[in-house]
Chain A
Amino acid sequence: MSESITLADAAPIAIDISKAVVAARDHLSEIDAATGDGDHGINMAKGFKLAIDRLSGKPFDLRQGFATIGDTLLGDIGGSMGPLYGSLFTEMADTLDGKEAIDRDGFTAMLRAAEAAIVDLGAAKVGDKTLIDVLTPSREAYEKAVGENKDFAGALTAMRDAAAAGLESTRDMVAKLGRASRLGERSRGVLDAGAASCELILRTLADGLLARLAA
């Protein structure tokens, strides 16, 4: 089993993530409708569909793929999710600058940059019922696995599991930020839409890398 993947080999993962978000359009909107205004899936799908269009028909690597997603979300998708996920992908792409491949430690840097982008912009903390409740435990689980000397695949698996657990943890939380926070106690009992899209993105990213590590 190899321990690193070239950015060229990993490029299709940018498309996989985009397609996964587009396919989850109605699912994400339904989750959002419970606490927000039900447009999360629509806006996300619109942005990632545009990114797919911009990437089609030309060669790109994972860095360029993420940079294109980031630019598209920042430039064309407003709301809260445009700047949040736009910054997340832009910052992840920046950590790949000048690199040929992604490995276990490179992925640590990428996850840290992703989390920092969201924290800087949104000021959310764990427990606020936002996508941070997926992102932070995922980053922590990944780093813990690395600290225990797990290999890249082992750390990715730990991250993917933590993302799923993080998403589920939002069900029993009361929203503190964003539109859902107006609901107070009434936001309890349903998942957070941003956390759901974040889990989907991290899961698709992990699965894509795991498949290439196993190859």
Chain B
Amino acid sequence: MNRVINDPDQVTEDSLQGVVRAHPDLLVATDHPRVLRRPSSGEAPRVGIVTGGGSGHEPAFLGYVGPGLVDAVAVGEVFASPTAKSFHAAFREADQGQGVACLYGNYAGDNMNVKMAVKLAAKDDVTVKTVVANDDVASATPDEADKRRGVAGEIIMWKAGGARAAEGASLDEVIASAQKAIDNTRSIGIGLSACTIPANGKPNFTIDNGTMEVGIGHHGEHGIAVLPVAPAKEMAGIMLEKILADLPFGGEDVSVLISGLGATPLMELYLLYGHVDEMLRAHNITPRHRFVGNYFTSLEMMGVSVTLTRVDGELDRLLRAPARSIGLSVFPA
């Protein structure tokens, strides 16, 4: 295992040290060692946005803290949910008296810890409402959509919720926009190699050389098919077929987000984008918002995910709104 680390059991703590030193304008430490927040801005009070999740997915989750996005983040161990106390502390940091929207992904641990944290927050009169991302089409059938995992679609959810909060909307309005964003979003990934949790020292799943796993999860959860590695154009076709079967388009424009899973070169992500863009236009679907990069990773896994969002007037406005963070910046037009 050739890695840039010290003690494998301390990678999360050690990495957080670097993050706050590198980006003091975006992220500051708090009294809770596993919670980071935006520096105080002096802006008018508004709804606070919180997210959280396991480490190893950088720039998710902490990389989406910033103006127009997330206010505070709870940081878990590698691939493990943050604690209830971390989420609770993040709620306190983000609350400006207007309530907190906790926008997170659908995993057993996160669900439990957020549930406990919301109860703790209620005791200090902080109102927290939640949206749970479930955009991964490969993780359950449509009739069990509530069991689907949250993956890179979470970025679209944070962007919509964060932009709505910045507009001064109420907590219910922020929640409604974030929910609408995720309801109109579908993702799927293809894994090309396994990844190793540093504290484990060896991968806990395998993707044989020459094969690809369609529908791989962000922690190596099994997908829906293991196939011989196909040319990028065929990968694009496989992924779009799954997404478009699940999310019918009726003339709306689309947001396309392509994320590498950690070890796939950006060059290849753009190569894939070209095919996705071309195929969408062949379906009379126009990519209006385009994001290509390492937005939501899984340590050093090779592979890629594609996320499509049906964009109406409201989501178009929210995706267009200015934002700045490690993972995503949108500049004023």
Chain A 7-27 interface residues, beta-carbon cutoff 8 Å to B: none
A157 at the interface (CB under 8 A from B): no
Chain A, residue nearest B199 (CB) = A42
A150 at the interface (CB under 8 A from B): no
Count of interface residues, chain A, beta-carbon cutoff 8 Å? 30
Which one of B112, B199, B205, B221 contacts A39 once the chains associate, using CB atoms below 8 Å? B199
A122 at the interface (CB under 8 A from B): yes
The 8 A CB mask of A28-39 against B (1 = contact, 0 = none) is 010011001111
Which one of A29, A46, A122 contacts B9 once the chains associate, using CB atoms below 8 Å? A46
A65 at the interface (CB under 8 A from B): no
B contact residues, range: 20 to 34
CB proximity of B226 to chain A, nearest CB, Å = 12
Which one of A42, A75, A122, A182 contacts B85 once the chains associate, using CB atoms below 8 Å? A75
When the two chains form their complex, are residues B219 and A121 in contact, meaning their CB atoms are under 8 A apart?
no
When the two chains form their complex, are residues B85 and A74 in contact, meaning their CB atoms are under 8 A apart?
yes
Q: Which residues of A contact B222 (CB under 8 A)?
A: 182-183, 186
When the two chains form their complex, are residues A78 and B81 in contact, meaning their CB atoms are under 8 A apart?
yes
The 8 A CB mask of B11-44 against A (1 = contact, 0 = none) is 0000000000000000000000000000000000
Q: How far is the CA of A179 from the CA of B218 in the complex (A)?
A: 11
When the two chains form their complex, are residues A181 and B219 in contact, meaning their CB atoms are under 8 A apart?
no
When the two chains form their complex, are residues A83 and B200 in contact, meaning their CB atoms are under 8 A apart?
no
Q: Which residues of A contact B200 (CB under 8 A)?
A: 29, 33, 38-39, 42
The 8 A CB mask of B70-90 against A (1 = contact, 0 = none) is 000000111111111110000
A77 at the interface (CB under 8 A from B): yes
CB proximity of A59 to chain B, nearest CB, Å = 26
A167 at the interface (CB under 8 A from B): no
A136 at the interface (CB under 8 A from B): no
B98 at the interface (CB under 8 A from A): no
B96 at the interface (CB under 8 A from A): no
* A interface residues with partner B (beta carbon < 8 Å): 29, 32-33, 36-39, 42-43, 46, 74-84, 121-122, 177-179, 181-183, 186
Chain B 59-107 interface residues, beta-carbon cutoff 8 Å to A: 76-86, 107
Q: A39-B78, A39-B199, A183-B222 are in contact. List 16 more A-B contacts (CB 8 A).
A: A29-B200, A33-B205, A38-B197, A42-B9, A75-B83, A76-B83, A78-B77, A78-B82, A78-B83, A79-B54, A79-B76, A79-B109, A83-B116, A121-B116, A179-B108, A186-B222
Q: How far is the CA of A29 from the CA of B197 in the complex (A)?
A: 12
CB proximity of A198 to chain B, nearest CB, Å = 16
Which one of A43, A75, A121, A183 contacts B77 once the chains associate, using CB atoms below 8 Å? A43
CB proximity of B54 to chain A, nearest CB, Å = 8
Quick one: given A74-B83, A83-B112, are A179 and B9 in contact (CB under 8 Å)?
no
CB proximity of B147 to chain A, nearest CB, Å = 7
CB proximity of B217 to chain A, nearest CB, Å = 6
Chain B, residue nearest A73 (CB) = B83
Quick one: given A43-B77, A76-B83, are A121 and B115 in contact (CB under 8 Å)?
yes
B170 at the interface (CB under 8 A from A): no
